[in-house]
Structure 1
Amino acid sequence: MIAYILRRVLQAALILLGVSVVTYALLYMLPADPARQIAGRSATAETVANIREQLGLNLPFYEQYLRYLGNLLQGDFGRSYLQKTEVGELIAARLPATLLLMAGAIFCELLLGLTAGAIGAIKRNTSVDRTLMVVSFVGVSAPQFVVGILMLYLFAVVLGWFPIGGYGTFSHLVLPSVSMGFLGAGWYSRMMRSSMLDVLRQDYVRTARAKGLGRARVFFVHAFPNALLPIIAMIGIDIGMFMSGIVVVESVFGWPGIGQLAWQAIQRVDIPIIMGVTLVSACAIVLGNLLADLVVPLIDPRIKLR
């Protein structure tokens, strides 16, 4: 286990290094000029040149990147060009809200997806099964911003059940969590249905039924845990999808997380914030996949870590 974790940590470090190089290179090639953004439209060419020199933007790409990487290894994400604040402090202030939203979204997608998939497997080829699969297909196909706007209009504006936006109470969390979880619920319901049907055809399930065990015991004790194995692997991958979709959802609902921070930074070409959010998101994806790999053997001892 220790050797496996050490190998994965080394792989994670290499992945994060690659992410930092690619992201920094893409930002370096942007036609926008951060120095001009900071100085303002009315600034003189001399003022812009001085700002560019102060920020080191006049250096070659490799020198800029090595300087950034050296600071990053010391825990310094840099300083926001426009907000004049340490990027690490900005991310730390916004991260709890994003983690709360992510937890709520994961709970919603698992609750809706696993329930729909299990019911679909039990009611196979019935009208209930077909209806659930159609809803799942809609969930997979619908863009998150469309789902978010529709839910905001229906449940906040028309019905008034939830606040239009903001942060701080449970009612503020419901709509953005369901909006983010609706897409994943569609995937999970289809995968859970397929996995459950496969498990229900296994010999040990037929043996359990032949022994006279009740239907509920066969389902929850023998079939359901084994059908969850591919689902657990998907949860780690889902974190990456959440980190990409969270920018849109947080912007729609005015949720003060790192997604909204990243969107504001993109609009202003605030490179240190964009880099910081990207690296934090990459760390979350790597950590999610590692935790998924470690949890699966605890559920199914037949799986060995290598």
Structure 2
Amino acid sequence: MLAYIARRLLEMIPVLLVISLLVFGFIKLLPGDPARIYAGSDASIEAVEAARQQLGLNAPLPQQYVNWLGGLFKGDLGVTYRTQQPVAEVISKSFMPTMWLALAGFAWSVALGLLIGVVSALKRGKWQDWTLMSVAVGGISMPPFWLGLLLIQFVAMPFGVFSVSGFNQPSDIILPALTLGASVAAVMARFTRSAFLEVAQEDYVRTARSKGLRNRLVTWKHVMRNALIPVITMLGLQFGFLLGGSIVVESVFSWPGLGWLLIESIKTQDQPVIQALVMLFVFEFIVINLLVDLLYAVVNPAIRLR
């Protein structure tokens, strides 16, 4: 197991290097002069040149990339062009709101999605199955921004119970979490149902039933345990989506998280923040995929990681 973890960690290095090169290249293609943004729109030519020298923008592009990459590995992400604050400090302030939002959306969506998927599979072909899967299809088809606007229009504004902007108290997370997790719950419901029904047709399940084991025991010990293996993969991918894909939801609710920070940085062409956020999102997905692989052995000891 330790050898597998070490190998996967080593495999992360070339992936991150390639991604960093692509991110750096695309950022340099963006219009605008970073030195002018850093110095201010009213700055003199001398001030702009001084800013260019300070930021190292007068160096050749390969040297700029090496300098940025070296700072990245040392934890020095540079400073923002607009406020001259350390990028790491700006991101750290926005990280926890996004994490809380992702965890809240993940918790309710996984619980509801697994429940709906199992119930739908157990009631296959009946009206409960058709109803639940129709709701799931609707959840997948509904754009998050539209659901968020509906919740604001018909829940928050008429009753005045929930805030629709910012994160000032714990209850403010309810509507954004519902919006963020709706599509995940729908995906989990359909995926869980498919995995459950597929495992239920396996020979070892039929053998267990033919031996006279109780249906409930067969369902929860044999079917559910093995159906969870592909579901765990989906869980990891969906959590990564919630962390990195909450941009629209954070914009709708003015949530002070990483997604909102990324949009504001794109608007202001704050290149160091954009670069750092993209690399953070990529790193999150890689780590989550590694954790998912490790969870395989926990769910089913028959699986051996090599």
Tell me the alpha carbon deviations over residues 244-295 of structure 1, each in whole angstroms, 9 at most, x when there is no partner. 4212211212222222221211111111111111122112111110000001
1:207 matched residue in structure 2: 207
Amino acid in the other structure paired with 2:60: P
Distance in 2 (alpha carbons) for counterparts of 1:271 and 1:139: 35
Contact 1:121 1:197 in 2 (8 A): yes
Work out the CA distance in 2 between the residues paired with 1:62 and 1:213.
67
Q: How far has the Cα of 1:228 moved from its partner?
A: 1.0
Other-structure match for 1:193: 193
The offset of 1:128, in angstroms, is 2.0
CA positional deviation for 1:222: 2.2
Shift of 1:53: 2.7
8 Å Cα contact 1:108/1:182 also seen in 2:
no
1: distance between equivalents of 2:100 and 2:143? 22
Q: Which amino acid aligns with 1:202?
A: E
Q: Are positions 1:276 and 2:291 aligned together? A: no
Q: Residues 58-103 of structure 1, C-alpha deviation per residue, up to 9 Å, x if partnerless?
A: 3222111111111122211111111211111122222122111111
Alignment-derived partner of residue 297 in structure 1? 297
Provide the residue aligned with 1:250 in structure 2.
250
Structure 2: how far apart are the matches of 1:291 and 1:285?
A: 10
Q: Name the residue aligned to 1:143.
A: 143
1:192 alignment partner AA: T
Q: Who is 1:95 aligned against?
A: 95
CA contact (8 A) 1:20 1:279 kept: yes
TM-score relative to the length of structure 2:
0.93
Structure 1 residue aligned with 2:67: 67
Q: Distance in 1 between matches of 2:181 and 2:291?
A: 20
CA distance in 1, matches of 2:152, 2:62: 46
Amino acid corresponding to residue 206 of structure 1 in structure 2? R
Aligned twin of 1:112: 112
| 1:228 partner SS | helix
Q: Deviations over 1:186-235 (max 9, x none)?
A: 22111111111112222333333344444333322221121111111122
Farther-moved stretch of structure 1 (209-218 vs 185-194): 209-218
Cα 1:63–1:226, aligned 2, differ >3 Å: closer, same or farther? same
CA–CA distance in 2 between the matches of 1:147 and 1:19?
33
119-128 or 188-197: bigger deviation:
119-128
Q: For the Cα contact (< 8 Å) 2:96–2:257, is it kept in 1? A: yes
Conserved? CA contact 2:180–2:242, under 8 Å: yes
What CA deviation, in whole Å up to 9, does each residue of 1:128-176 have, x standing for no partner?
A: 2122222222222222222222222222113434222332443222221
Q: Which residue of structure 2 lines up, in the alignment, with residue 264 of structure 1?
A: 264
Q: CA shift at 1:22, angstroms?
A: 0.7
Partner residue in 1 for 2:8: 8
1:155 match: 155
Match of 2:175 in 1: 175
Task: Give the 3-state SS of the residue equivalent to 1:193 in structure 2.
Answer: helix
Which stretches of structure 1, 4 residues or more, deviate above 6 A after TM superposition? Answer: none
Q: Normalized against structure 1, the TM-score is what?
A: 0.93
Match of 2:134 in 1: 134
Bigger mean CA offset, 178-187 vs 207-216: 207-216
Per-residue CA deviation, residues 4-24 of structure 1 (Å, 9 max, x unaligned), is 111110111221112211111
Match of 2:57 in 1: 57
Q: Which runs of 5+ in 2 are unaligned?
A: none
